[in-house]
Amino acid sequence: MHWENYTSLPEKFRNQRVFDGCGISGYINIDGKRESGKKIVDMLTILNDRENGLGAGFAAYGIYPEHDDCYALHFLFDDEPAKLDVLDYLADIGFIVQSEAIPTKTPPNISSPPITWRTFFHPQENKNITEDEQVFQIVMNINQNFEGAFVMSSGRNMGVFKGNGWSHEIAEFYKIEEYKANMWLAHSRFPTNTPGWWGGAHPFNLLNTSVVHNGEITSYGTNMRYLESFGYKCTLRTDTEVIAYLFDLLCRKHGIPIEIATIALAPPLFQDIDRLEDNYRIALKNIRATYRSAMLNGPFSVVVGIADPVPTMIGLTDRKKLRPLVAGVSEDENTIYMSSEEASFKRLMLNPEIDFSLKEIWHPKSGTAIVVKMGQGLLRDGLEKPLEKIELTVKGGS
Amino acid sequence: MSVSHSTAPYYHVTVDREYCKKCKRCTNHCSYGALSFNGERIIADDSKCVACQRCVTMCPASAIRVVKNESYLPPHGNYTRRIRNAIWAQSGNGGVLLSATGNDREIRSIFDDLLLDACQVTNPSIDPLRETIETKIFFGRKPSKIDFKRDSENPKSISLKTEFMPNFEIDMPIMVGHMSLGSISYNAVTAIYQACKELNILAGSGEGGLHPDFYEYGSNIITEVASGRFGVDINYLHNAAGIEIKIGQGAKPGHGGHLPGEKVNSLISQTRMIPKGSDALSPYPHHDIYSIEDLAQLIAALKEATRYKVPIGVKIAAVHNSAPIAVGIVRGGADFLTLDGFRGGTGAAPRIIRDHAGIPIELAIAAVDERLRQENLRDEITLVAGGSIRYSADLIKAIALGADVAMCSMPVLIAMGCRVCQQCFRGLCSWGIATQQEYLVKRLDIDVARNRIINLFHSWNEELKEVLGAMGIDSVESLRSNRDRLRYIGPNPKIAEILGVKHAGE
């Protein structure tokens, strides 16, 4: 592990975009059953060809049921003064229900480990803006203006644990196996151009949305400038940040159904759209025209966790599927797994300590989303035609 | 004019006496009267030659050369020959000097100072011959968001609530700029419209009306409502894919159109609805638009007249305050906005304006795109940018800076045979392009010209795909405003700052 650069990159590396190759994994229990982090650690750490020891992390949903009405803010601090600054600020603008260290297993003889901290928080009541919007602004403010502090995650009943090291080291450091979650996302990375920093590891989170991402967004400039006109500040200069904000914009601010938001991000080709019947053709063309700046280009595979209105896991690749994504469903059809490689599933199958087998393993089509919702099941398996399974009516269409 | 004020010709015409067959073809082809036959041999009047190269091309014996006149003025770095000639011309005739084509001053091109990015290792590039790369564009206004409503009883049922405004699809992000019938010939206009229909791209009608022969190309034509309202009637409005209110033109910001009476024959007279032989000078401003709210009214009136079926846009010349003006225009209801840079072309314009007014299109795109984003309006409209898009590299860079569509005219004329002699305002174009004289117009073969335009834009679009592929982008939508993929190598860091582009190496 690298015991430095917790809350920001060294000055000389700032303003550079981070490029990396990655391993991603995730799973969701449709009935909401919470499971320890053991499986997700196994799934991720086997992908060690996809990392180089410069960053890994986990997002866990459903881990704080006793505080599920609070925003669980996960922090990294460089030192005590930075921590006190932020906690004072939070106490000024809202209510801290509980505030404590995130338990870690710091190896001996580390002189200055990061302060890992979590605060269960309510913003002050404000009729003019929603709580989500307030917390969104608080997170943007802390990450931009508070030296030595970084918000890792800001959702309800969930948390992100990440740092600069090999995935097995990060899992051990945060004692991931001790948390029980109903949806897990995990990420390990192989950055090419920076030494890596703790806050810059994935998953990337904003409110209830977390993203693990493998790839490079060639449309970054277009997407970033589009998001900026809606008030997002892309300060981290990573592609993943842009993906998380796009999901936030489309799903939360614009209220677009998830299965349609994924189409806006990785739309079908015009030659395929032209073959569809009227309603679908009109809808898809207008989605492409309206959200032309939200379209993600370049190689990527992502797994996204969204908690509102129901916990949802999404798997999506670029339109040419230049990065891998494989999915599996458990025998009882209750759990959906996704990963960069099938090795993640094989490892669980070979683990003598657990009884694990999959009913089916499949490869989603390029640019086609897998959508799993808690309580509702596998809504889309990533093998559908565009808008298949959706009964769409269009104003003015036939 | 006394002898002491006559100026040395720019060109010198040589006829190789050994090669010359005295067939006199050159004298027929020279529309400027520079060549004649004196009974014994071909003789040249250098002072009339414009270097249009028609005689050189048509001479069956390859006997003619047009060379630079080496007999030259005493050199002076400040009082250049260009400036001295202007002074002699004006002190001789006392008038405003006319000129044609775009600004010909040697001002550094910002496009040429921009470099494109390409993929290496961390992301794969895409081979356009093996993979689909899309260049389709939707022209018109888009909503800022789409409203969907999910049926609470049946979650699979989703209704799309937004009503969409008229948009039409074009297959390449290219528009041929506004050149009116009048400034160019019937054959030239026909070739352009036919090519644009074949390619499914756009052509501007210019402000000279639309001849009934061209109604069949209406689905690819943006007609122009300019301050002179030439040719504007209900057929004109109804036979167009879009309508553009022309406020200004890059070659002559603050000026109206100039069509010298020499070019107004019966065809032009009929199409423009003006008397034969009269100068068609459209007013400098629209006399019903003295302010932004007046413009909004005209936009609304045109939308009413066309029953909200086609997008209505506004064209402005790129000037110092383009950004706030653009915002006003978008708020005024325009569905598209056309920016025309200071190098933009013209059939006739006062030289003082052509050479000195306006700003480069690169800076205007950057400033307008940025300002519209600050107001969260950018994605709702289509931004067209022209004013010297010379080749596909300029088109690609214009889009990366923030334009949806690149507009160009000169490359189309050059493709048809134009040699850029800059005499369009005289109506004597020996290539049959910028003229209305029937014997000259006939020289332009419509089929050949059309095919050359098709070839040109086809190759530009292929080059666009090649660049997109190298950038790892499979749709032109993801290039637009993607300034991250541009780098600056010019001498002035301030330009990079205004463009929002990093310096090469950063």
Both tokens assigned to A355 = 């009884």
Q: What is the mean pLDDT of residues B168-192?
A: 96
pLDDT tens digit sequence for B393-423: 999 999 999 999 999 999 999 999 999 999 9
In a domain, B301, yes or no: yes
Backbone angles phi, psi at A295, to 5 degrees: -60, 135
Mean of the pLDDT values across residues B136-160?
A: 93
**Residues contacting A156, CB < 8 A, separation 6+:** A68, A69, A70, A71, A72, A208, A307
Which residue, chain included where needed, has tokens 């898809």? A284
Residue B132 lies in a domain: no
> Do B284 and B180 lie in a common domain?
yes
The least confident of B257-261, B299-303, B305-309, B501-505 is B257-261
Give the pLDDT score at A192: 67
Q: Which two tokens stand for residue B54?
A: 């028609």
Task: Decide which of B70, B95, B120 is a domain's last residue.
Answer: B95
The fraction of chain A above a pLDDT of 90, given in percent, is 75
Q: Which of A223, A278, A290, A372 to mutate to test the interface with B (most CBs of B within 10 A)?
A: A290
- Final residue of a structural domain among B67, B95, B123: B95
What dihedral angle (degrees, nearest 10) is formed by the CA atoms of B442, B446, B451, B452? 40
Per-residue pLDDT, B480: 97
Task: Provide the pLDDT for residue B219.
Answer: 95
What distance in Å separates the CA atoms of residue B137 and residue B171, rounded to the nearest whole number?
6
pLDDT in tens, B227-285: 999 989 999 999 999 999 999 999 999 998 888 888 899 999 999 989 999 998 899 99
CB-CB neighbours of A113 under 10 Å: 14
pLDDT at A235 over 80: no
**Is B46 in contact with B36 (CB distance < 8 Å)?**
no
- CA closest to A279 among chain B residues: B160
Mean pLDDT of the A229-239 span: 81
d(CA A22, CA A212): 9
Name the residue facing B473 among A297, A394, A396 (closest C-beta). Answer: A297
Q: Tell me the pLDDT band of A234, cut-offs 50, 70 and 90.
A: confident
DSSP states along B194-245:
HHHHHHT-EEE-TTS---GGGGGGGGGEEEEE-TT-TT-SHHHHHS-SEEEE
What is the rounded distance in angstroms from the CA atom of residue A22 to the CA atom of residue A323?
10
Compute the distance between CA of residue A280 and CA of residue A274 in angstroms, rounded to an integer.
9
What's the confidence (pLDDT) of residue B287? 92
pLDDT digits (tens, 9 = 90+) for A86-136: 999 999 999 999 999 999 998 888 888 899 999 999 999 888 999 999 998
CATH number (domain holding residue B16): 3.30.70.20
Q: Give me the helix-helix angle, A278-290 and A258-265, nearest 10°.
A: 60
To test the contact with chain B by mutation, choose from A18, A265, A292 the residue with the greatest count of B C-beta atoms within 10 A, namely: A292
Residues in chain A with CB shorter than 8 Å from the CB of B481 are 221-222, 225-226, 293
Q: A13 to chain B: nearest residue by CA?
A: B506
Q: Are residues B272 and B371 in the same domain?
A: yes
Residue B451: inside a domain, yes or no? yes
- Least CB-CB distance to A229: which of B121, B373, B480? B373
Q: At what angle do helices B392-401 and B446-471 cross, to 10 degrees?
A: 50
- Please state the three-class secondary structure of chain A as a single string: CCCCCCCCCCHHHCCCCCCEEEEEEEEEECCCCCEECHHHHHHHHCCHHHCCCCCEEEEEECCCHHHCCCEEEEEEECCHHHHHHHHHHHHHHEEEEEEEECCCCCCCCCCCCCEEEEEEEEECCCCCCCHHHHHHHHHHHHHHHCCCEEEEECCECEEEEEECCCHHHHHHHCCHHHCEECEEEEEEEEECCCCCCCCCCCCEEECCEEEEEEECCCCHHHHHHHHHCCCCCCCCCCHHHHHHHHHHHHHHHCCCCHHHHHHHHCCCCHHHHCCCCHHHHHHHHHHHHHCCCCCCCCCEEEEEEECCCCCEEEEEECCCCCCCCEEEEECCCCEEEEECCCHHHHHHHHCCCCCCCEEEEECCCCCCCEEEECCCEEEEECCCCCCCCCEEEECCCC
Which B residues, 70 through 129, put their C-beta within 8 Å of a C-beta on chain A? Answer: 119, 121-124, 126
Least confident of A362-366, B131-135, B194-198, B252-256: B252-256
B87 and B233 share a domain? no
Domain-embedded: residue B133: no
Report chain A residues whose CB lies below 8 A from the CB of B136: 270
Give me the residues paired with residue A370 across strands: A315, A381
| pLDDT, position B298 | 97
CA dist B92 to A96, B33, B50, B89, B149, Å?
Answer: 86, 21, 20, 5, 74
Could you tell me the CATH number of the domain that includes residue B366? 3.20.20.70
What does DSSP say about strands B336-340 and B382-386: parallel, antiparallel, or unpaired? parallel
Indicate if B205 and B334 belong to the same structural domain.
yes
The confidence score (pLDDT) of residue B208 equals: 87
Alpha-carbon span B251 to A140, nearest angstrom? 46
Residue A398 has pLDDT above 60, yes or no: no
* B269 domain-assigned: yes
Domain identity same for B174 and B284: yes
Task: Give mean pLDDT, residues B218-230.
Answer: 94
- Residues B51-70 have a mean pLDDT of 95
Based on C-alpha coordinates, what's the Rg of chain A? 20
> Are residues B191 and B449 in contact, defined by beta-carbon separation less than 8 angstroms?
yes
- Domain annotation covers residue B111: no
pTM value is: 0.93
What's the mean pLDDT in B180-202? 97
* Cβ atoms A202, A241 nearer than 8 A: no
Which residues sit opposite A28 in a β-bridge? A183, A336
In percent, the amount of chain B with pLDDT more than 70 equals 99
Please give the pLDDT value at position A195: 67
In B, residues 372-431, which contact A (CB 8 Å cutoff)? 373-376, 378-379
Per-residue model confidence as pLDDT tens digits over B86-140: 998 899 889 999 898 999 999 999 999 999 999 988 888 999 999 999 999 999 9
Structure tokens at B119: 């993929």
DSSP letter (8 states) at residue B18: T
Task: Write the pLDDT tens digit of every residue in A249-263.
Answer: 999 899 999 999 999
- Say if the Cβ atoms of A320 and B477 lie within 8 Å: no
Q: For residue A270, which residues of chain B lie inside 8 Å, CB to CB?
A: 134, 136
Cβ pair A297:B475 closer than 8 A = yes
Number of domains in chain B: 2
Is A22 annotated in the active site? yes
- Which helix (DSSP H) or strand (DSSP E) does residue B42 occupy? strand B42-44
Residue A18 has a pLDDT of: 62
Q: Mean pLDDT, chain A, as a whole number?
A: 91
Tell me the pLDDT band of B1, cut-offs 50, 70 and 90: very low
Q: Which residue is catalytic, options A22, A70, A234, A251?
A: A22
Cβ neighbours of residue B458 closer than 8 Å, sequence gap 6 or more: B199
Distance in Å, alpha carbon of B216 to nearest chain A alpha carbon: 24
Residue B185 has pLDDT above 80, yes or no: yes
B308 in A contact zone (CB under 8 Å): no
Summarize the confidence of residues B356-362 as an average pLDDT. Answer: 96
pLDDT at A106: 87
Task: Print the domain residue range for B341.
Answer: 167-503
Q: Rounded to an integer, what distance in angstroms lies between the CA atom of residue B21 and that of residue A143?
A: 83
Query: pLDDT band for position A193 (50/70/90)?
Result: low
- Decide which of B65, B95, B125 is a domain's last residue: B95
Whether residue B193 sits in one domain with residue B77: no
- pLDDT digit string, tens, across residues A196-228: 789 888 899 999 999 999 988 999 999 999 999
Is the same domain home to B352 and B445?
A: yes
For residue A257, give Cα distances in angstroms to A31, A392, A396, B149, B160. 21, 12, 20, 8, 11
CA of A206, closest CA in chain B: separation in Å? Answer: 21
Q: Please name each of the domains of chain A with its CATH number.
A: 11-381 (3.60.20.10)
CB B193 within 8 A of CB B162: no
Q: How many whole angstroms separate alpha carbon B436 and alpha carbon B259?
A: 11
- If one counts every other C-beta atom within 10 angstroms of the C-beta of residue B355, the result is 20
The residue with tokens 């004013």 is B387
- Look at strands A149-153 and A71-77 and give their pairing: antiparallel
Residue B114 lies in a domain: no
Residues B89 and B172 in one domain: no
Q: What is the pLDDT of residue A86?
A: 97
Q: A29: which 2 tokens?
A: 């229990």
B424 backbone φψ class: left, alpha, beta (φ>0; ψ -120 to 50): alpha
CB B340 within 8 A of CB B364: no
Cross-chain CB nearest to B123 (options A290, A298, A392): A298
Flag whether B339 is in a domain. yes
